Amino acid sequence: HGEVFEANVGDVEDDALPVFAGPPGGSAQMLAMWRRLQPAFAQYGLALERLALSGRGSWRVETEDEAAVELGRGSDDEVVARSERFLRTLAQVRARFRAPLAYADLRHADGYAVRLRGVTTALPAAKAKTTY
């Protein structure tokens, strides 16, 4: 119901409960955002595990497979729309590089930055030349 309460861990039957972290008084807003983001991410095969709201109003999610996505600030509608645009293109990016998501930053005005597991843009260190 968006109300903060303390629960005895032994009484909790569902191990898959999400984790929320945010400022005092933000629980109802966090639950509302969770209810909008969770199905959007699930549609693309990403199970959300954690939702965080910073004191400055910036949203962040973490997935079950430990990928982090910085959603940024804005109205709930703006954050959800930004997330949906990202999710629509993520499948193409993952398919092209055949790698799972590690991190994404959606706080850019005209796009996003992404890091995939096992994919790097750094050149390998040059092999030492041996002279005989």
Query: What pLDDT is recorded for position 79?
Result: 96
Q: Whole-angstrom Cα distance, residue 37 to residue 76?
A: 10
| Residue 54 in this model has a pLDDT that exceeds 80 | yes
Query: pTM higher than 0.85 for the full model?
Result: no
Six-digit token string for 12: 């909790």
Six-digit token string for 80: 């959800």
Ramachandran angles phi, psi of 33, nearest 5°: -65, -40
| Residue 16 in this model has a pLDDT that exceeds 90 | no
Q: In residues, how long is the chain? A: 132
40: pLDDT confidence band, cut at 50, 70 and 90? very high
Q: Is the dihedral of CA 45, 92, 34, 25 positive or negative?
A: positive
